[in-house]
């Protein structure tokens, strides 16, 4: 039975049975209505049987059938079967290199308020029948389970892809008879041929996806909506192999849906956008949310002519007028990615134009640092599924700055032109200098409304930035832009196979934002080092505060530990703590991940470490990874670190599988304490936590010396005993502590200095005693 979870406290369920069937491509055809605050239309899913089923089918269908029992036992609260006639077809004469998309292929039955009373009532009809056909002599129907929440599903039907003109080219290897089962097999074979076309035929593939999405229906499917899922079945179909591989779902969002927010921009104009919800996109369209469900998509979105539609898409869409006052926007992607990365923003955005072309540095110091190893990587084939990959394109590999646009509400255009616009090429060039080929072909940057709960969010081909980064100079804007640009490599081109390992995305982006920003500003080596050390100190203080004020279980970067990446037999899983409200605002994964990467860079050396990052990017782009994939590759490149005790297992133990702040090496502690000595004030509580966290009294003399300096500077009375012990037992290093005790002109400290000198004077070296006496008397 579908698990009922507390939406404010528990884990996020990923219900889709991706081991049985995988969505390979989505076609969305949507209308955005600001009056009713509803997005309505249909989505067509093109599916393939899942890996678990394909493995089982090689040994016989019975082996595959047993895996569906778990899914078919799912019961839901309602079952809908909507008796609506087949959709009319919009004929398309478009050539496949034009990608024009027709209007709605189904008559709009809504009233003026956008309510579909008849259809919606039908979809809510309850049934005493189970989702699985219990009268089928013990055999149960296969269930396709999709992630879905806060949606009104109106109709689900099989799509007759065999009716598409010109589709014969995909059926030449099929032997068609008059048997209806053979016709169903033919449709599925057409979909298989379509989704497996080679990447050099991607334009043709998109064209036929469009045509197939507009084909007539050939039978409605039973469906059930639950709290977290949409479950679909076809009566009598018991395996994924026989289940329809192209289905169309008619639906509409709800104004209260949690995947998008309806609001007004800073100029008071209405807008709607995906704001990075904890439930991702399941309240925007039915989908498969597990990260392993990598898919491509295309979308046509219609709205009033005064609005601009921005979306995750490879193309810079140009609006097409369908009728007076209505425009259609079309976007597509050919790189498979999780459905959670799909992003849309519809509003009265204005494009910010620049009055001059910014100069991007092209001298040798600002060029891509390629080694012979870099060239060898590019000679190897990519490890991902086939798609038009930029890493294999000679032109893309030389593209330092990809095409970009900036959009904002009218009232913020001048501010964007003055600050943001000129920073983008600098930051893109710096990212290219560091990591090489840009994974995506273009970039839109949008200043989102003030209710956006983060400073930025990266999605394929588009970045959202908060208005908060604009005023006050370029520093905050530049560093945040660098952070989001870094996600093009870490978070998007390379994704976490288990979403609980957020540090793979956020830790890398936090580490790389410093590198990108220093190079964008063309800092000297010393300037870069000083800035990064200052950033490290500030981040350490934030991390310390967060560790002290958060639940321990939320401080673990790999909460599933040895089970990380595992899913159930059906492919369903959970995102641990994914729905905890406070987790959205925590920075543990950013900061703790950053300090792990920083410690590795310091041990390995900056240049070698960045070379390993470039190698990792080239080897794993377009794929999903776990922590050990990166750590194993890194340690293979530096075998001497293994000999010194640095292993994947030790990193798991010290950094990823435990709460709190990891133990620092003595040199790191010395550096930390030296930076804290530069602080004007530290409260007693901070000093107490510092000593307890790092057990400073048990550290070596270098560390304890800095600790004693902190005690004296901030007159931390509970630490005076540590100072006395240090002056008595570590005379070789304690001479100047006497001077610090005297210079503050504090009676207690001066008394401590006299007391310690009197006790140690007879055993002190003559020269040392003379120097101390001059300080004291």
Cα dihedral across residues 300, 246, 144, 197: positive or negative: negative
Q: How far apart are CA 188 and CA 181, in angstroms?
A: 11
User: Could you tell me which residues are beta bridge partners of residue 438?
Assistant: none
* Active-site residue identified among 106, 484, 501, 513: 484
Tokens of 552: 């321990």
Q: Are 631 and 651 within 8 A, CB to CB?
A: yes
3-state class (DSSP) for residue 286:
coil
Q: Are 351 and 406 within 8 A, CB to CB?
A: yes
Residue carrying structure tokens 């600790």: 707
Phi, psi of 297 (to 5 degrees): -155, 160
Contacts 24+ apart (CB under 8 A), 278-282: 278/12, 278/578, 278/579, 278/583, 278/584, 279/12, 279/149, 279/579, 280/147, 280/339, 280/340, 281/339, 281/340, 281/342, 282/147, 282/148, 282/149, 282/150, 282/151, 282/228
Residues in the chain: 777
- Straight-line distance from the first to the last Cα atom of the chain, in angstroms, rounded to the nearest whole number: 82
Tokens of 736: 């100047």
Closest residue by Cα to residue 415 from 454, 487, 465, 340 = 465
The tally of CA atoms less than 13 A away on the side-chain side of residue 29 is: 22
Catalytic residue flag (residue 484): yes
DSSP letters, 427-461, are: HHHHHHHHH-S-SSS-EEEEE--TT-SSSEEEETT
Q: Which residues are catalytic?
A: 484
């Amino acid at each position: 039975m579908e698990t009922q979870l507390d939406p404010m406290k528990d884990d996020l369920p990923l219900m889709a049975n991706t081991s049985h069937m995988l969505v390979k491509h989505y076609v969305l055809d949507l209308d955005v209505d600001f009056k009713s605050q509803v997005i309505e239309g249909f989505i067509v899913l093109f599916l393939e049987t899942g890996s678990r089923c394909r493995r089982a089918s090689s040994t016989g269908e019975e082996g595959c059938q047993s895996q569906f029992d778990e899914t078919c036992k799912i019961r839901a609260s309602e079952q809908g079967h909507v008796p609506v006639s087949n959709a009319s077809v919009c004929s398309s004469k478009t050539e496949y290199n034009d990608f024009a998309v027709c209007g709605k292929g189904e008559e709009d039955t809504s009233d003026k308020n956008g309510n579909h009373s008849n259809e919606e009532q039908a979809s809510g009809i309850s049934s005493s029948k189970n989702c699985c056909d219990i009268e089928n002599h013990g055999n149960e129907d296969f269930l396709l389970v999709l992630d879905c929440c806060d949606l009104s599903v109106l109709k689900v039907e099989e799509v007759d892809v065999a009716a598409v003109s010109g589709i014969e080219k995909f059926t030449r290897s099929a032997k068609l008879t008059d048997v209806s089962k053979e016709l169903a097999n033919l449709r599925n074979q057409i979909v298989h041929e379509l989704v497996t076309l080679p990447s050099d035929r991607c334009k043709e593939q998109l064209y036929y996806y469009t045509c197939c999405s507009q084909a007539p229906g050939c039978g409605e499917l039973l469906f059930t909506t639950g709290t977290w899922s949409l479950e679909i079945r076809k009566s009598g179909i018991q395996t994924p192999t026989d289940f329809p591989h192209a289905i169309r779902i008619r639906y509409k969002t709800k104004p209260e849906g949690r995947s998008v927010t309806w609001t007004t921009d800073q100029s008071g104009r209405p807008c709607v956008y995906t704001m990075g919800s904890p439930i991702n996109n399941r309240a925007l369209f039915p989908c498969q949310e597990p990260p392993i469900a990598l898919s491509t998509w295309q979308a046509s979105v219609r709205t009033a002519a005064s609005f601009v539609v921005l979306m995750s898409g490879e193309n810079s869409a140009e609006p097409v007028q369908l009728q007076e006052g209505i425009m259609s926007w079309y976007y597509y992607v050919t790189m498979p990615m999780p459905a959670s990365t799909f992003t849309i923003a519809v509003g009265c955005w204005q494009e910010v134009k620049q009055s001059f072309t910014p100069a991007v540095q092209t001298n040798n110091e600002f060029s891509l640092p390629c080694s012979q190893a870099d060239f060898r990587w590019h000679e190897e084939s990519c490890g991902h599924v086939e798609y038009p990959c930029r890493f294999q394109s000679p032109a893309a590999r030389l593209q330092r700055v990809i095409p970009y646009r900036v959009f904002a509400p009218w009232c913020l255009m001048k501010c964007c032109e003055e600050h943001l616009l000129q920073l983008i090429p600098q930051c893109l060039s710096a990212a290219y200098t560091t990591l090489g080929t840009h994974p995506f072909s273009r970039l839109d940057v949008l200043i989102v409304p003030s209710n956006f709960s983060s400073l930025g969010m990266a999605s394929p081909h588009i970045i959202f930035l908060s208005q908060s980064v604009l005023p006050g100079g370029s520093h905050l804007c530049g560093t945040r832009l660098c952070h989001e640009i870094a996600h093009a490599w870490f978070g998007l081109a390379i994704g976490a196979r288990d979403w609980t390992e957020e540090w793979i995305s956020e830790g890398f982006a936090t580490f790389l934002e410093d590198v990108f920003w220093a190079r964008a500003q063309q800092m000297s080596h010393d300037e870069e080092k000083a800035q990064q050390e200052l950033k490290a100190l500030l981040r350490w203080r934030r991390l310390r505060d967060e560790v002290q004020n958060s639940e321990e279980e939320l401080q673990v970067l790999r909460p599933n530990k040895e089970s990380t990446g595992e899913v159930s037999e059906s492919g369903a899983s959970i995102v641990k703590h994914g729905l905890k409200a406070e987790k959205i605002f925590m920075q543990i994964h950013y900061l703790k991940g950053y300090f792990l990467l920083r410690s590795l860079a310091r041990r390995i050396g900056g240049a070698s470490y960045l070379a390993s990052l470039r190698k990792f990017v080239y080897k794993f782009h377009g794929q999903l990874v776990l922590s050990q994939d990166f750590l194993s590759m890194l340690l293979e490149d530096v075998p001497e670190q293994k000999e010194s005790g640095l292993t994947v297992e030790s990193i798991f133990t010290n950094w990823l599988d435990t709460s709190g702040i990891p133990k620092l090496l003595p040199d790191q502690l010395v550096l930390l304490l030296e930076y804290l000595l530069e602080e004007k004030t530290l409260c007693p509580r901070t000093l107490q936590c510092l000593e307890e966290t790092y057990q400073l009294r048990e550290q070596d003399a270098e560390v304890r010396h800095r600790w004693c300096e902190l005690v004296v500077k901030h007159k931390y009375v509970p630490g005076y005993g540590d100072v006395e012990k240090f002056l008595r037992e570590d005379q070789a290093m304690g001479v100047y502590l006497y001077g610090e005790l005297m210079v503050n002109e504090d009676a207690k400290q001066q008394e401590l200095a006299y007391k310690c000198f009197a006790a140690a004077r007879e055993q002190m070296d003559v020269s040392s005693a003379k120097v101390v006496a001059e300080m004291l008397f």
